[in-house]
Amino acid sequence: MTSERVAVESAKGVNGLEKIILRETRGSSAEVYLYGGHVTSWKNEHGEELLFVSSKALFKPPKAIRGGIPLCFPQFSNLGPLEQHGFARNKFWSIDTDPPAFPTNSSSKAHIDLILKPSEEDMKIWPHSYEFRLRVALGPGGDLMLTSRIRNTNSDGKPFTFTFAYHTYFSVSDISEVRVEGLETHDYLDNLQNRERFTEQGDAITFEGEVDKIYLCTPTKIAIMDHEKKRTFVLRKDGLPDAVVWNPWDKKAKAMADFGDDEYKHVLCVEAAAIEKPITLKPGEEWRGRQELSAVPSSYCSGQLDPQRVLQGS
Q: In a 3-state reduction of DSSP, which class is residue 136?
A: strand
The whole-angstrom separation of Cα 262 and Cα 275 is 29
Beta strands 205-206 and 178-181 are antiparallel
Given the residues 31, 181, 263, 271, select the one marked as catalytic: 271
Catalytic residue list contains 271: yes
Given the residues 167, 181, 263, 292, select the one marked as catalytic: 167
295 dihedral zone (left: phi>0; alpha: psi -120 to 50; beta) = beta
* Cα dist from 263 to 12, 45, 173, whole Å: 26, 25, 11
Is the peptide bond between 74 and the residue preceding it cis, with omega within 30 degrees of 0? yes
The whole-angstrom separation of Cα 232 and Cα 309 is 11
Q: How many CB atoms neighbour CB 25 within 10 A?
A: 14
CA 242 to chain centre: 13
Catalytic residue list contains 45: no
The whole-angstrom separation of Cα 268 and Cα 254 is 16
Q: Which residues, in sequence order, are bridge partners of residue 178?
A: 226
Do 218 and 186 touch, CB atoms closer than 8 A?
yes
Which are the catalytic amino acids? 167, 271
